[in-house]
Structure formats: structure tokens, C-alpha cells
Amino acid sequence: MPAQSMTHKILARAAGKSHVATGEFIEADIDMCFTHDPVLEALREAFYEEFGKNAKVFDPNKIALFQDHLVPAKDAISRRLAMAMDNFAAEQDIKNYYPYGANYGVCHILMCEQGHVLPNQVILGTDSHSVTYGAFNAFGTGVGLVDMLNVFRVGRLWFRVPETIEVRIEGELPPNVFAKDIILRLLQDIGMDGASGKTLEFTGSTIDHLSAEERMTLCNMTVEAGAKNGIMSLSDKAIAYLNRAAPNATLDPVTTDKDYQYSQRLHYQAEQLEPMVAYPHRPDNVCTVAQAKAERVAISQVYVGSCTGAKFEDIELVARTLKGQKIAKGVHLMVVPASTQIYRRMAQSQVIDMLVESGAVIESPGCKACYGAHGGVLGDNEVCLSTTNRNFRGRMGNPNSFVYLSSPYVAARSAIAGYITDE
């Protein structure tokens, strides 16, 4: 049998095959899938139109629904979309439903928190950042409405088996260098099309020692390089996370065969990495924070949010960095936790107190300004430093604004200084 990557093994299992080959077209069973509020109304209408008014989903236990992009409702249309999701969940008896309320948040974070992501699974979402789930040794990828429409009905989808690029990182990261800096450096090196349709597989001692949440950050942004999926072997810290999220689950991780031939191999020494920042208007328009600091790039807003940069560890890092200090005059610091579970942890610790005392404003969970809908939309010529994943022109709601991307640490230091810095 030919040597297999971990992505090959997951897809082979889901297709009922002993092995697969790069470039092969397969049809695979889907272990878990989801959609969210911007998509569900159109999907619901098409579902009944295409499959009949009494049509049922393939397995309601393998579907999750999330209200995250447009909550709390900013207008009547947003509320209509949420109501359509209420109706579909009831019609299809979907129990894994997370509406705005006591237990909701950004889909990718909730998928992990609620135990819907397990190793060796094929997991799909109507959101490109579904690549996040590779942090837990799963094949996660985003699909469009038509693909998900059919998945909801039959529970299967075709794939072209991707080739795999190895990204090996060895050593110990310097102080104040994080997963966000790693992925920004990778984007600088390979560009937004450097992994188009391919797997980015992370290996090495640095990856083995990352926290589960840092692993999520790394995989989350692989799609910014065009990757079909990001993935890594299961680590002790990832196992501990899964044991809390899904205590009754049996874990069945996969590894890449030692003699598997990667299509490309990239190697980084962790000690040589440094804080990075993406300039407008591309995630791969990256330079060092040292360069930005020399240019003294002034900012008007710091946004700590999204599936990339608003996990508990992200926000706790911001709070600890800000402790005892005030944000610069004229700078707005917005903190948008990714879930109510994170919000509760913030309240139970000193995190909220530290943030508020520094001058931060804490918003309710959700996607909000990350994709420009509400809750932090920028004005003309305003400059935002964000812990999110994309900075395309208009991404945060205004094509005449400017968005930079950084780690939560750099975001916090910059909020204090009033310009981009890590000091």
C-alpha cells in the first residue's frame, strides 16, 4: 500500500477505502457538518424546494446550527434569518442548535468547545475557516451552499484528494511570539495562493508543545494561503482539550507514514521567528513588527475578536499585558469574546476587571466587525489593528479604512502606545 498522509488516511476511511492517492476523486461520508445564520434561510428554502416539503436531513445528530454572524440582530433582516434557523431546527429535530442566548458564540469555537470535533473525522461548514478543526487531527474544510444542501440530505460529498505540504517548526518560540506570528510568517513566505487546494500539515517540536488554542489559531488561517485544510498530529494538550469537550468520546487519531512523500517541505527554527504584522489589504502583505514600529503606524482602533483571536487564552493574554496600564488617548479597544463559555471564564477570573480598568469595551460574543456587519465597523481613514484573520479592503465594513493583523500580544501593546509596537 502506498504511504499515506494523515489527510489521506482520514479521507480513505470516510470513503470506505484502504488508501487513496493524491489527485484521486472520492465520495466520502461526512461525520459532522454545520451552517450559520447568514446561510441557513437560503439553504432551508432550497432544501424543501429540491427535496420536497416533507424532506428530512440525513442525520440530525450530525448537523449543528449556529447564530453567530448577525446576533444580536442589527436589523429586521438579521432577525428574520435567525427565525428561519429556529424553524429549521424544530422541523428537523436538530438538537445541536446554538441560538443567541445562554450558550452561543462563533461557530468554529463552539464546534470545538461542544465536542463536535474529533480526530480522524471529516467535518464541513459553510464557512472557510472550518479548516480550524485540523488542530484536533480532523479534516475540516469549508464548502458552499449547494454542497452543504446536498450534504444535509445525503450525508456524503465528493473530494479531490489534496497533495500535502509539510511545515516543520522546531525549537522553542521566543517570548511574545505566538501562533499568529507563525502563520503570518508562513503567509509572507508562500503568499495567498501558496497552498491552493493543498493540505498544510504542521509538524515538529514547536507544534507538539503549542496549547490547544494556539493550534486552533494556526490551522484557522491556513485557508488564507488557499489551503484545502490544515492539520497536525494529536498532542497531549489537544487530547486534554478533547477530554474536557467530549469526555465520553473515543479518540482515533491518525499520523502520516514516515515514508510519505510531501509535495513540498518548509522548515522553520522557532528561535528565529519574531512578532509579525499584516499590512492592508492582504493577509500575506506581512512584515515584522519591528519595521512597523520604525514607521510608527498610528492606530485608532484595536479589535480583539473572531474565531482566530478571541479564545480565552487570547483575551487573557491581552488582559495580562494591559494590567495596570491605560490604553492610549484616541484609541478604542474592543474585546469580543468568541463564546459565552469564554465570557463566563472572563467573569470568573480577573480578566474582565483588568480589561475594563484599562479602558477596553467588552462586547457580547459573535463575529461582529470581523466581517464588517456590526459592532466595530470603521470610519473613513480609520486604522484598526485586529486579531482577526482577514484584512481585505472593506472587510471591517468600510472600503476607506485600513486593517492590520497581529497577535493579541501585539494588539495589547499597541493599544497602550497608540501605534503598532510590541514594546
Q: For residue 121, give the nearest of 2, 202, 242, 236 by alpha carbon.
A: 242
Return the pLDDT at 303: 96
Return the pLDDT at 282: 96
Q: Which grid coordinates belong to 125?
A: 461548514
pLDDT > 70 in the chain, percent: 100
Domain boundaries, the chain: 6-268, 278-417
The answer to whether residues 197 and 225 touch, using CB atoms and an 8 Å cutoff, is: no
pLDDT (tens digit, 9 = 90+) per residue, 229-267? 999 999 999 999 999 999 999 999 999 999 999 999 999
Q: Which residues contact 319 (CB under 8 A, 6 or more apart)?
A: 350, 351, 354, 355, 358
Q: Is 412 left (phi over 0), alpha (psi -120 to 50) or beta?
A: alpha
CATH code for the structural domain at 278-417: 3.30.499.10
pLDDT beyond 80 at 374: no
Q: Which fold has domain 6-268?
A: Aconitase; domain 3 (3.30.499)
Distance CA 421, CA 20 (A): 47
pLDDT beyond 90 at 370: no
- pLDDT confidence of 77, banded at 50, 70, 90? very high
pLDDT (tens digit, 9 = 90+) per residue, 145-159? 999 999 999 999 999
Q: CATH topology of 6-268 equal to that of 278-417? A: yes
What's the rounded mean pLDDT across residues 184-205? 97
What's the rounded mean pLDDT across residues 317-321? 97
**Which has more pLDDT, 372 or 12?**
12
Task: Out of 66-75, 121-130, 360-369, 396-405, give the one with best mean pLDDT.
Answer: 121-130
What's the rounded mean pLDDT across residues 97-116? 96
pLDDT beyond 90 at 368: no
